[in-house]
Amino acid sequence: MSDRLAVAVIELSDSFRAAWDDLAAELDVDRVALAPDDAPPPGAVAIILAAGGEEDRALDLLPSIPAGGTPVLLVGAAASHRFGIQALRQGAADYFALPGDLDILRRTLTARVEAARERGRPSGPVAPPADPFAELRGQSDALQSTLDAARRVLPHDQVTVLIHGETGTGKELLARALHEGGPRAGAPFVAVNCAAIPTELMESELFGHERGAFTDAHAAKPGLFEEAHQGSLFLDEIGHLPLPLQGKLLRALEDRRIRRVGGTRSREVDVRIIAASHVDLEAAVERGDFRQDLFYRINVVSLTLPPLRERGDDVQSLAGHFAATLAERYSLPVPQLDDATRTALRGYAWPGNVRELRHAIERALLLSEAGTLDPQHLIPRATGGPAGAGPIPFPATLEEIQAAAVRAALLQHGDNKSAAARQLGISRARLQRLLDRDDEEQS
């Protein structure tokens, strides 16, 4: 079936016939001929009831047209006030007297086409992108071997996938790529971070709830399973799912049906699950924190995203990519990575992985002179830490923590002691005493 938008035309007369093809071509939509008792095709933005000279017949027909919510635009030749009112009363969405109203008809259809285009992607299958993994940039062996495994899963849209990886390694990007590159592309991709939802709300978030199901359920609300129907549901940090809910999730996966909290009827859902975790779920199973049956159900295919520190030169290419895309976002010239910047990038372990790198580039881009990336702005840690701030030894004494806080506050306020003291909530004199003590210890 075509995904294109269309204008359906019921011709009661051949007046203005040439106009319909012209309008359809102008709007880049299909023109579909319709009999008066035909339902409009999917994608129809309006039904034109073409009735030049047959206006009275059109009035009789209007109530019986099976428009199913598609607006019927009656087009005639009679520029009569009273006739227009009659048409509306018979169910027309609007009446146009041609040729005088042709321009208004064109604008009406244009608005409907634009609204339809804004409202939705085509509902049918869409062509997968050339390389669904293009957003996961990097040529390191560690990354490429994961992507090779992911490519093999692409055609199998019923297979659940479990993605492992530290925070910030791109687990959601990989999940989205599996969705966009597979047979479910074009259907919804719903991502939810289980760690971000309070435990007591988790069930209603996933499965929805009916009004009054619990104290704060003032409105009935569809759940994320329903929103992901026919698409993919990405459950990030699935290890945070409370045990009772793990059982309900397992049942939903087995039965392919869910029931809203407080609801009485079950609803069919066709959802492919992609799960992710930064913790070792097998260990969680051994501890009894994660159900073994659910683990085996979701761990059909396991993919591991490597941390950035194990991806060699990927950090350089990613930094260049982020610099270019973020420069475009902020309308700034694209900066080049000079040797000092490259050295700073290499000399840091990036514990927050790609996400941390991206934030660091964004910060440096906005704080550096336009067209440059000053390494001193690549977050302090990336350049070995600001002079004077120093690392806190572990375990630190109270004095060491105080001294570090003072140094950090001074750094933040350009050595303005009053401002630093205000930030720390202490007097300027107390700040000076802490500084003096620190100096003594340093010497």
Partner 1 sequence: MNAPNGTPTYSDPLRAGRRAVLGGEFLQARSELERVDPELRGSPEWQLLSAMASWRLGEFAHSRIAAMQARDQYRAVGDTDGEMRAENVAAAGAFALGDLTDAERGFSRALALADRLTDELMIGHCANNLGNVAYYLARYAAALGFYRLATVSFDNVASWKWLAGSWVNSTIVLRESGELDGARDAAERALAAAQRAGDQRIMGQALAACAETTAALGDLELAHVQAGRALALATEHHDPLGEAEALRVLCVVARASGEPDRAEREATRALAVAERVRHPWTVAEVQRELGELYRAVGRSGDAKKAYQAAAQAFDRLGAASRAEEMRARTNGE
Interacting residue ranges for partner 1, rule: CB under 8 A: 69, 79-82, 84-85, 88, 94-95, 97, 99-101, 103-104, 107-108, 111, 118-121, 188-190, 192, 196-198, 201, 204-205, 211, 216, 218-222, 224, 227-228, 329-330, 359, 363, 366-367, 412-413, 416, 418-420, 422-423
Which CB atom, from 285 or from 364, has the smaller least distance to partner 1? 364
| DSSP H or E run through 443 | none
Which CB atom, from 300 or from 419, has the smaller least distance to partner 1? 419
- CB 69, min distance to partner 1, A: 6
Distance CA 297, CA 299 (A): 6
CA 343 to chain centre: 34
Distance CA 143, CA 426 (A): 49
Query: Judging by DSSP bridges, how do beta strands 257-259 and 266-268 pair with one another?
Result: antiparallel
Count CA atoms closer than 13 A to 350's CA, side-chain side: 31
Which CB atom, from 82 or from 152, has the smaller least distance to partner 1? 82
Tokens of 94: 């609007």
- CB 296, min distance to partner 1, A: 28
Distance CA 266, CA 259 (A): 4
Which CB atom, from 234 or from 295, has the smaller least distance to partner 1? 234
Distance CA 215, CA 359 (A): 40
Residue with tokens 């660091």: 360
Which CB atom, from 88 or from 435, has the smaller least distance to partner 1? 88
Asked if 32 contacts 46 with a C-beta cutoff of 8 angstroms, the reply is no
- CB 286, min distance to partner 1, A: 29
Q: What is the DSSP string of 180-222?
A: HTSTTTTS-EEEEEGGGS-HHHHHHHHH-B-TTSSTT--S-B-
Q: How many CB atoms lie within 10 A of CB 112?
A: 21
- CB 443, min distance to partner 1, A: 29
Nearby residues of 132 by Cβ (< 8 Å), 6 or more positions away: 154, 177, 178, 180, 181, 182
Which CB atom, from 198 or from 288, has the smaller least distance to partner 1? 198
- CB 268, min distance to partner 1, A: 14
Distance CA 135, CA 130 (A): 12
Which CB atom, from 205 or from 438, has the smaller least distance to partner 1? 205
Q: How many CB atoms lie within 10 A of CB 393?
A: 9
Distance CA 392, CA 199 (A): 35
Nearest to 190 by CA among 255, 273, 253: 273
- CB 334, min distance to partner 1, A: 16
- CB 312, min distance to partner 1, A: 26
Distance CA 268, CA 226 (A): 9
Q: How many CB atoms lie within 10 A of CB 103?
A: 10
- CB 165, min distance to partner 1, A: 16
- CB 201, min distance to partner 1, A: 6
- CB 430, min distance to partner 1, A: 16
- CB 151, min distance to partner 1, A: 25
Which CB atom, from 196 or from 396, has the smaller least distance to partner 1? 196
The alpha carbons of the chain give a radius of gyration, in whole angstroms, of: 31
Which CB atom, from 225 or from 348, has the smaller least distance to partner 1? 225
Which CB atom, from 88 or from 279, has the smaller least distance to partner 1? 88
- For residue 239, the one-letter residue type is G
Distance CA 304, CA 191 (A): 18
Which CB atom, from 81 or from 287, has the smaller least distance to partner 1? 81
Distance CA 86, CA 165 (A): 66
